[in-house]
Amino acid sequence: KDGVCGECTVSRDCNEKFRCQYFPTSGRHMCVRRDLSEQWSWREGVCTVLIIITAMLSAAAGMGGGGVYVPLLLLLLDFSTKEAVPLSQAMIVGGATVNIIMFCGERHPKYQRKPKIDYDVVMMLNPGLAAGVTLGVMLNVITPQWIIVLVLILTLVLALQKSLTKGLQQFKRESKALAEQSVQGGGGASTQQTKAAEVKIRLADLGSFASLAQDNARPLTLIVGCWLVFLGANVFKAPQCSTMYWLQLVGLVAICVAFTTAGAQTLRIQGGGGVDSAEGMLAWTPETLWLYPLLSTAAGFLGGFLGIGGGIIMGPLLLELGMVAEASQATTAMFVFLSSSLATIQFMFLGRAMPEYALWFTAWVLVATFVGQTLVDYVLQRWKRSSLIVLSIAGIIGGSLVMMTAVGAKDIIHDIIRGADMGFSPMNLCK
């Protein structure tokens, strides 16, 4: 009656899309269907504000922000993981869509004939990233929580150290360069800086995108083809642990290898060297043609295994491989868009979406991402500090480290209290 389905102690005792609510008249806790407008409280307000801040920071980093969104929903709104992950993916795909719209017509900061989104890199690394995430999720299901949390801390601490160090070093170099420019240019530099300090509203440059797409037709074809293959596999997924399931899994890995091989052949046809080996871009050599896809597979595996997605690993990886910060931001956003759009479509087919919550939070993420990107453009024009992008990546990693560790520790304590098995559970894979 009235959505009440039974007594409960905490929300995890209730079915999906229900929460545990106290009724003073009866003095009992009952499971009731979630309703954002009727159940609005300070928790929803705080969660919304923190999601807006995270979305703005994620826009600067080119990341999804799922490592912060999911813990916020778990800790503040008492969502279950099954409820939080689909909602988080809806927010991520919303922010990623705004990023891609704003980046699609932009050109590389150093090489104007190249796009800011490095389609060659996406073409080569996305198949491995997707395969890695698939395998990582499988291992996550059978691995005890304490091992996942331990690996999570080690991975994110390393990624935080790398990105923060690189960001601070770049900030110091930029400060030194600006100081020298100010001394040499005198008052002229200050005047020029003031003129550049106008906030410009940037929308999609469709004309520029059409030109860039024509020049990158083959890489884009392979990227879209790989995305469609994984979409089909997600929509027509075989029953867990059936013979068809394993055949489908092997087939997906083989297809990823085929797409990567086709990408390598494309780079060979294009000539490989020249601009591609210049400063700020990934150098494609006979060695890196197989090494970089393997690194992206490892990044995807870690992202899937730790439940944080591949984008948060790919951002620092691209910087470490030598990609300039602005291009890394745009290229990482493309990786995030491809993976989050697949996940969101899959959750919609499974009926896991929560429309009211998804519309509310995603609408704020859309606005916050646009504002965040506009502010980043302003900072880059006003102070010429691309280190902001690298430091934003460090900020998202740091936030994810704190939030995911807190959630993981809470789950471990809960498992210990209820006497749960703390070892590997291979049978979970077939549930």
Residue 23's φ and ψ, nearest 5 degrees, are: -110, 105
pLDDT above 80: residue 4: no
pLDDT at 276 over 50: no
- Residue 296's CB is within 10 A of a number of other CB atoms, namely 28
Confidence band (pLDDT; 50, 70, 90) for 275?
Answer: very low
Q: Cβ(159)–Cβ(313) under 8 Å?
A: yes
Model confidence pLDDT, tens digit, residues 163-214:
999 999 989 988 888 888 778 765 554 445 544 456 667 777 888 999 999 9
Question: What are 188's two structure tokens?
Answer: 């002229």
Q: Name every residue whose Cβ is closer than 8 Å to that of residue 194 and which is 6 or more positions away in sequence.
A: none
pLDDT at 199: 64
DSSP label at 20? E
Residue 240 is given by DSSP the state T
The pLDDT value given to residue 247: 94
Helix or strand (DSSP H, E) at 126: helix 119-142
Helix ranges, 186-216 (H)? 187-195, 206-215
Are 34 and 20 within 8 A, CB to CB?
A: no
Instruction: Check pLDDT > 60 for residue 426.
Output: yes
Query: Is 228 or 25 the better-scoring residue by pLDDT?
Result: 228
pLDDT higher than threshold 90 for residue 39: no
The average confidence (pLDDT) of the chain is: 86
* CA distance linking residue 423 with residue 417, whole number of Å: 15
Q: How far apart are CA 150 and CA 256, in angstroms?
A: 30
User: Where do the H-state alpha helices sit in 216-324?
Assistant: 217-235, 243-270, 288-306, 311-320
Tokens matching residue 324: 């300039």
Which parts of 24-118 fold into alpha helices (H)? Answer: 42-61, 66-76, 81-103
Average pLDDT over every residue of 334-360:
86
Residue 42: which pLDDT band, with cuts at 50, 70 and 90?
very high
The tens digit of pLDDT for each residue in 380-400 reads: 878 778 888 889 889 999 998
pLDDT for the residue numbered 334: 94
Residue entry with tokens 């005198």: 186
Helix axes 145-185, 387-417, angle to 10 degrees: 160
C-alpha to C-alpha distance for 316 and 328, rounded to whole angstroms? 9
Q: Which amino acid is at 334?
A: M
Cβ-contact 44, 364 below 8 angstroms = no
Q: How far is residue 206 from each of residues 97, 102, 212, 337, 409, measured CA to CA in Å?
A: 15, 10, 10, 18, 47
Burial of 9 (0-12, 13-18, 19+ CB in 10 A): exposed
Q: Is the pLDDT of residue 1 over 50?
A: no
Closest CA to 222 of 256, 268, 254, 253: 256
Token pair recorded at residue 305: 């295994």
Q: Looking at residue 181, what is its pLDDT?
A: 79
In one-letter notation, the amino acid at residue 55 is A
Q: What is the pLDDT of residues 86-145, one digit of tens each?
A: 899 899 999 999 999 999 999 988 888 899 999 999 999 999 999 998 888 888 888 888
